[in-house]
Structure 1
Amino acid sequence: MPLPKTLKHRLIVLLLLSSLFPVVLIGSISYSSMYAMLKNKADKGIASNLHLVRLSFENTLSQLNRASQQLVFEGETGSKLDTYLSTDNLTVKRQLGTQIMNEMSLIHFTNPTLGVIFYYLADTKEVIFQNSQLAPDFDLFKLPVLAEQLSMTYYGPHTSINPLDGNRVLSVIRKVNIPARDDVYLYIETDFKLTDRILNTDDIYRDTFHLFVDQNGTIAYSEKQDVFRTGDTLPQLSGVPGENGAYYLFEEISNQSWRVVAAVPKRSYNQEIVRWIVQFAVIAVLSVGIGSLLALAIWRMVYKPLLHLQRNIRRLKNDHLSELAGYEREPLLEFAEIHQQFASMRDRINELIRDIDRNARSKRRLEIENLLYKINPHFIHNTLDTIRWLARVNGHHETDRLVSTLNKLLYYNLGKGRSASIRDEIEALKHYVLLQGVRYNFHFEVRYQADPRLLELPVPRFILQPLVENSITHGLRNKGGDPGVIEVAVIEENGGRVRLEVRDNGYGMTEAEVERMLSGGGEQTSRTGLGIGWQYVRRMLELQFAGKADMRVRSGPQTGTTITLLLPVVREKEDEHAESDGRG
C-alpha cells in the first residue's frame, strides 16, 4: 500500500507505525530478558549485602578472638590471673587485681567494639573483674551457640547479659589455661549497638530479616521468631537461593562453618519486576497516544516554520540578511534541502568560530612573546659570558659575581616554555633582588615565605619579578625613615588554589591609582609604576588560566602595597598539556 502524498497523512501513518512497532516488538522479546536481568540484579544486591554482613560478623568474632588472646594464660594478663587465684597474700592479690583491671580497661579502650568483659569461675559460679553490671540470673552456657573451635565457643546474636543494655550482641567464651584450675573462663561480648548496625545495613529490601544457623544446621538466632523459630533445623541451600513459603532464602557460609541467611519476602523480591511491567504498559499506551497527537501537532506547528527556516538559512548563508522574510507553500522535497543548507551553515559557522579562537590565541601569544623577546638572548648571553671571564681574569671578583648572577637571571627569564616551578621562580627572584641591591643606593630587605610542599608546583614564568620590581622602584626608592621591606609569600588556599603575595612597606597608592592599575589602561598603569611588567602579568594569567586566576591589589598612602595572585593548582601533566596546546 503506497503512502499518502500529503505530509499530514504521511506523518499520521508513519508516527502511528513508529509508535506501535517498537512497543509490540520490544514487548514481545523483552519480558524474559528483563525478568532475568532484574532477577539477577536483585540476587546480586542481596548476595552482596549478605556478604558484607557475613564479613562484618567474622571480623567482629576475629576481634573478640584477638582480645581474648591477650587475657588468657598465654598472655601477660593470664599469668597474673594465675598468680591472683593461687596466692593467699592479700597485698599481692590486691596489686594483681588492680593491674588486671587496668589491662582489661586498656584492651576495652583500644577496642571500642567490645562491651561486657569478665572472668567466670564455673565451679563456684563466681564472676571476677567485671567491667559492667550483670543480670543476676544469667547462664553463660545456655546462650545460642554459633560455632565451637578448640577452647573457644562463639555465640550468635543474643540479648546482652548487662541488664541496663538489653540489645543484641555477639560473644565468645574462652577457657583460660591455668595449670592449677580447670574451671576458669573468659567472657567477652561486643558493644550493644554493633549487631544492630550490621544487621540494618540492607538498603535494598527494608523488610529483609536475617537468621544465624550453627554448624549443625540449627537456627541459633532469628529476627522473625513467628516464621523461623530458634532451635528449628534449616535445610542446606548449597549457595543457591531457595524458597521457604512466602520467602526467598539466601545464605553465606563463614570460615567457622556457621551460616548467615537473609530471608526476603517474595512480594518485595518481585516488586521491581511488577513495577517494570506496569511502567511498560503505561509507556506503551502513552506512546500510542502521543504518537497520534504528534502527527497532528507536527503538521500544524513544525512544517510551516521549517519552510520558513529553510528560506531564511539560504539567505543567511548568502549574506542576504536584509531579505529574511516570511514563507510560502513549497513541495515536500524541500525538507532535504533544509537539512542540507542547515548543515552547510553550521559547518561554516563552526569553522569561523575556530578561526576566531585560533587568531585570538595567536594574537595573545605573539603579544607576550614580543614583550619577552625584544632583545637577542644569544647575543646577550655570549656578551655577558665574555665580560664575566674578563672580570675573573683581571681579578674583579665582585663584577664576576654580578655578571654571573645577571646571566643566570636572563637564562631563566628568557627560557623556553611559559611555566616554571615555584622553586625556580623564587631562585630567579633572588638573583634579581641581588642585582637591584647593587643598582640602587638605598637599603631594602626581601623576605621569603613558601610552604615546601608547594615549591614544585608550576606557575607562569617571570610572574613574581615584575611585582617585586614595582615595590623596589616605585614603592621603596627614595623612601626615608625605616629600611624598606618586601615580603614574598607562597601559601596554599582552600579550593585547590595557591596564593602568591608581594607586600612592601613603601609609599602605597590611592584607591584611584589602584583602580586605574586594575582596569588595564596603558598610560595610567605606567604612571602607577607597573608598565610593561604589569601588562605581561595580566596577559599571561589571562592566557594560561582563562579567567580562573584572580589578581587583587590592596594599598593606601604611606601604608605600603600588597599585590595578591590567586592561581589554580595545575599539576605536572595538566601543565604539559597546556604547553603543548600553546606550541600547537
Structure 2
Amino acid sequence: MAISRSGPAPAARSYSLKYRLIVMLLISSLMPLVLIGTISYSSMYAMLKNKAEAGFQSHLHQVRISLENTLAQLNHTSQQLAFDGRVGKNLEGYLIADPYQKRELREEIQSQLNLIHFTNPTLGLIFYYLGSENQTIFENFAVPSVDLSKLPKLFNFNTITYFGPHLSLNPIDGNQVLSIMRQVEIPGREDVYVYIETNFKFAESILNQSSFGSGLTHLIVDETGRIVYSDKPEDFSVGTAYADNPHFGSHGNYVRLEEKSNQSWKVIAAIPNKEYRKEINRWLGQFLLAAVLTVALSLFTAWLIWRTVYRPLNLLNLDIRRMKHSGESFSERRSRITEFAVVYREFADMRRRIHGLIGEVKQKEKSKAKLEVEKLMTQINPHFIHNTLDTVRWLARANGQKDIDRLVSMLNKVLHYNLGKTGPARIRDELEALKGYVELQGIRYNFTFDVSIQAEEEALDLPIPRFILQPLVENALYHGLGDKGVIEVDVRQEDTGHLRISVRDNGEGMTPHEISRLLGEETEEGERKVGMGIGLRYVFRTLKYQFGEEAEIHMESSPGEGTLVTLKLPVKGNKEGEAS
C-alpha cells in the first residue's frame, strides 16, 4: 500500500462577512452605475455640446446678420453720395467753381447731406475726403485732421473699403462704429472719396445682450484672418492672426465658433471652456452626487444587513461552542427571520440527535462490557464440556464401547471447532468440521444420505468466516431431505476475485413464503428449528457484517425440486480469516 506524505496545506485566507457584504453591494451598485453613467455621459455630452454650440451659433448668426445689414446700409448711402446725381453734380461743380458759387453750392450740398442724415438716423459722421490734399469737406461734425490708412480694414470691394469696428473720428462721439470709404466718380479726379460712419450701438447691443454670460468674447476677423475687433484685447490683440492665438487649440482655455459672411470676413465667438462646459459640468455634478448617494446607501444597506445577520450568527456560534459541554441543557432559540428560524430549529434537532447518539454509545459500551463478562464465561463452559466428553470417551473405550467412543470423539471435535473463538479459519478447516457434523447427523437421525464435496485445491487455504457451511447443510436436513438424499457442496474461486460456495440438495424444497421466513427476522419457531440458535440468519448477518455489499447470497428452491444456496464472497481483503 503506497503512502504519500506532504506538508500541511497553507491555510485559506478568511474574510469577514461584513466586508464581503460591503464589497458585493458596492460592486452590484457601482457596476450598473458605471455602465449607465458611461452611456449617459456620452449621450448627454453630445446633446449638451450640440445644444451649447447651437445656442452660440444662433447668436453669432444674429451678429453677422446685424453687421451685414449695417454694412449694406452704408453701401446704399454711399451710392447716393458717390455716383452721378444731384449731390455728385453739385460736388463736381463745387470743386471747379469760384468762391461765390462755392458758397451757394456749399449750402445746397450741406442741405442735401442733412436730409440724407435725417432720413437715416443710424448714420453718424459723414464727409468727403480729398486724398491729394488730405482735407475733409462737408463734414456734418467738426473733425480734426484724419489718417484713414490707420483704420482697421474689414475688406475691399472694387473702389469701396469697409472698415471694421473702431472709435468714431468724431471726437465728441467716442462710440465704436463701422465705416465705409468710397471713391466718388468725378471726371479728372480720382482722389475724392466719401466717408460715412454708422452708429455701432445696435451691433454692440447685440454683442452685449448675449445670454451666455459675460465670459463670451466676440471677435471680428478680416478676409486675411487678422483680428480687426476684439472684446478682450488682452487675450486677443487687434491686428494679430487669430488662428495662431495660443488661447485656442487643445491646450487653450477657449473654444471658438465661427460665422462667415458672404464677403469672407468672420464673426468669431471665443467661449471659455468653463462657460462652454457649464451645462455638462452641471449635469456631471448632479450625476456624481447621485453616485455618492448611491454608494452611501449601499454602505448603509450593507451595514444593516451585517447587523441583521451578525447577532443570529453570533448566537448560533455560542450554541455550537456550548455543544462541547454535553451535559449542559439548551433552550431552542427563536428568530423572526425565516432562514435563521429554520437553522435554529434544525440545530436543535441535531443537538437532540447527538445527545441521543451519545446515550446509545454509552449504552453500547455498557453492553460491550457485559458481553466481555459473558465471553469469559463461555471460555470456561467449552473447557468443561470438552473435559467431560473426554472422560465419557475414555470410559467407553475402557468398557469396549467402540461406537460410543467414536461418536463422542467426533462430537468433541465438532464442538471444539464450532466453539472456538480465536485463530484463523480456512476452507479446509470448515470442510473437515462439516464432515464430522454430517456423520453425527447420520447417526442421530438413523437414515442414509450422501454429502458430495467438490473443492478446488487452490481454494482450500483461503480464509473464510467460521461456522458458515454447517448451517447451510443443516438447512437441507431440516427441509425434507429423505433417505438416500444427496447434498452437493461445491467450492471454487472465480476469475472475478470472488469465492463461490454452493450447497445443493434433492430434498422436498421450500415455498417462497418459507424462504422469506428464513431470511426475515427471527421468530420463536425459527429459533427452535435451528438447534443451537445458529441458522441461516447467522450466516447472512455474519457475511453482511464482514463483507457488506461485496457479499452476495442467493436461495433457489421449489417444492419437490430441492434447494440451492449460493454464496459469493470477496477473497481480497480477508486475509486474516477471522471467525465471526
TM bucket normalised to smaller: 0.3 to 0.5
TM-score by length of 2: 0.44
